[in-house]
Chain A
């Protein structure tokens, strides 16, 4: 029953998202025709404009446009890119892989950094090392991704003449070593953004668990301190850390928009950004929808991991 409830919630949310996306994009002044032809639109006769509107399906009432979009979306047809004529799904598939890889690497790096610095800080609350750890967390939170990316690009390209993202993007299958080099800095930038809240959560969760009776018992019965910290303290602090990671994964997808642009990675973020600039309704709508589905899926996965980590949660 709970399962069905959950599915129903997810479906209503996705339905709401589809309507929201549709409406937001319809508010944009100008339509596909004016944006693809520019001032040449003025040369067209009203009849020509009308036939183009019919061709693109934007002459129909809004509700009809929505229904035809959502039914074809659900049947796997994401529409066509107006400028290249390619099916949107063909563009989206590789882009989705790029963003997923980036997001995964970013999250892994972020969790590693965040948990490490959090543990480092929590060892001695109020000490100099705690201060250093917290200072790292604060800076990681406050330095915008685009500042960090721009700085890395500048320093790497000019001081070290090393800039793998200057070359054409390689998928892991085409050239694994090149792909990893191209993913390194972007995922580091995203990772740092994830590390900040993960670090804070880790620190406070650890400090809370350390005071528990079972930890004192473990120390008392002579378990090695390192083992206590890993098996007893960290293990029991995992839930808030997992939750925070799940939340951050979503934000990270947003950060991907900026990072993909700076590092010239052909991912979802850049695809959406390009499509917005070209006013390609079909591409933007369908890509944002795919993005939102990805986001909602992540939340479900987080929920599932949550249960695995803590069997007490039903």
Chain B
């Protein structure tokens, strides 16, 4: 039964062109990150070559070089690896904590729910980047600190996404009837509530990954998070600012990388939303 359903939504996903394009873009970026993670980049991203400083794109330096003669392609894929690592870690934390709190709040209600909702309101009352800025500033600049800061910012969204369906479903007759049948709370939770939370969470994960990448690159643009000489996409853009007038490639390529991965993740998110929501399938 279950496999049949899964097959269906995957089939639906691959029927949409934009979903396939999104998946392709994200896969390319992940592959490049893996290449960088295993130090397979054509040139060491930290290696300085003063003789070949500020070269335009050519056969040795595919994306050109910066003012220190460092290879922009290798630095871009290294930056992409950092951005993706931060995004994946922070969204994993946010999703786990958020879904847990949301389900607990929705299921038990009362004062527990009240505390959960009120605390997420507090975090919602800050612009994301500002909150992340303050937290990173207190925690430190390692990629784990950055991830924790971004995780805190995006946890309330997962609380909301998980709590809503739980509130609706727990009042439905089929859940009430299995409760009368004497099923244990964990069993009801896993077998009957979680499948309803699954679809919105999956969509939310894809979208949050894209926001996390934007927040991470924004932070590193402002000088928080990754510190020089390490490469990070936001930091590369900010370093390219004074060069951009005569070395467009220093600004263009890291910018394009961020945009491409965010576009990809959004397309994947939209594709998943359409594929997982039976009501949208007919219209799509």
Contacts and interface: CB of A to CB of B under 8 A. Distances in A.
B139 interface: yes
B137 A28 contact: yes
B118 A13 contact: yes
B77 interface: no
Interface stretch (B28-36, B102-110, B193-201, B234-242): B234-242
Contact of A24 (B138, B241, B255, B259): B138
B251 A150 contact: yes
Given A24-B135, A142-B262, A151 B125 contact: no
A202 to B, nearest CB: 16
Contacts of B139: 27
A283 to B, nearest CB: 13
Contacts, number: 125
Interface in A1-58: 9, 12-14, 16-17, 20-21, 24-25, 27-29
Interface in B172-227: 210, 214, 217-218, 221-222
Interface stretch (A111-119, A167-175, A219-227, A284-292): A284-292
A231 B263 CA distance: 34
Nearest to A28: B138
B259 A143 contact: yes
Interface stretch (B48-56, B57-65, B126-134, B162-170): B126-134
Nearest to B114: A12
A275 B99 CA distance: 35
Interface in B224-282: 234, 237-238, 240-241, 244-245, 251, 255, 258-259, 262-263, 266-267
A269 B126 CA distance: 12
B267 A16 contact: no
A158 interface: yes
Contact of A153 (B125, B126, B221, B241): B241
Contact of A284 (B134, B214, B245): B134
B127 A254 contact: yes
A199 B221 CA distance: 27
Given A12-B118, A147-B258, A292-B126, A154 B133 contact: no
Given A144-B214, A154-B241, A261-B222, A288 B138 contact: no
Contacts of B47: none
Interface residues of B, number: 38
B4 interface: no
Given A142-B210, A146-B221, A146-B234, A16 B118 contact: yes
A266 interface: no
A189 interface: no
A146 B122 CA distance: 27
B263 A142 contact: yes
A296 interface: yes
A272 interface: yes
Contacts of B240: 150
19 contacts: A9-B121, A12-B118, A16-B121, A25-B134, A142-B262, A143-B255, A144-B255, A144-B262, A146-B221, A146-B238, A150-B251, A253-B127, A255-B127, A255-B129, A272-B130, A273-B222, A276-B137, A288-B134, A295-B125
> Which 8 A-B residue pairs are closest in the complex by CB-CB distance?
A254-B127, A16-B122, A142-B262, A27-B138, A154-B244, A158-B245, A147-B255, A142-B263
